């Protein structure tokens, strides 16, 4: 199943990342997320993103760069990322630190933790 990006009934932008990620896959997530974030911004609604990495595969360097651009280019209020293995958690935390937005972007072990933080 391919990656999915949608605006949920909860008002969050949901990114469901599945399988190996290259520049094409990451660019799709980027473009759809930026489009939805723009719609929220025009409506004066907070931009909160929930990224599910539960079924993510390998991620190449171009995909990592594009993913970090989402955080850097979008005026997000909060981004909660969850799922993936220990290596993925480490890699995501490095990307978060590189963006300089550690106050607005966090990695969680579980869906419930991520949702609770987004709602706070």
3-state helix, strand, coil in the chain (%, to 5): 45, 30, 25
pTM of the model: 0.91
The vertex-87 CA angle with 54 and 11, nearest 5°, equals: 35
pLDDT at residue 91 is higher than 90: no
pLDDT at residue 83 is higher than 80: yes
Q: How confident is the model at residue 36 (pLDDT cuts 50, 70, 90)?
A: very high
CA-CA distance, 30 to 103, in Å (whole number)? 21
Query: Where are the domains positioned within the chain?
Result: 4-119
Tokens of 91: 């890699």
Nearest Cα to Cα of residue 21 among 58, 73, 69: 58
pLDDT at residue 117 is higher than 90: yes
Q: How confident is the model at residue 99 (pLDDT cuts 50, 70, 90)?
A: confident
Q: What is the overall mean pLDDT for the chain?
A: 93
CATH assignment, 4-119: 3.30.750.24
In the chain, % of residues over pLDDT 70: 99
Q: How confident is the model at residue 1 (pLDDT cuts 50, 70, 90)?
A: low
Helix boundaries (H) for the chain: 23-42, 61-73, 86-99, 111-119
CA-CA distance, 24 to 108, in Å (whole number)? 26
């Amino acid at each position: 199943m391919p990656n999915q990006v949608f605006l949920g009934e909860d008002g969050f932008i949901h990114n469901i990342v599945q399988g190996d990620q290259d520049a094409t896959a990451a660019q799709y997530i980027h473009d759809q997320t930026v489009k939805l974030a723009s719609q929220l911004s025009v409506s004066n609604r907070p931009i909160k993103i929930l990224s599910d990495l539960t079924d993510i595969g390998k991620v190449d360097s171009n995909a990592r760069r594009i993913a970090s651009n989402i955080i850097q280019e979008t005026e997000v209020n909060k981004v909660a990322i969850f799922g993936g293995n220990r290596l993925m958690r480490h890699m995501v935390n490095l990307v978060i630190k590189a963006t300089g937005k550690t106050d607005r972007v966090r990695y969680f072990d579980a869906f419930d933790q991520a949702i609770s933080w987004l709602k706070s």
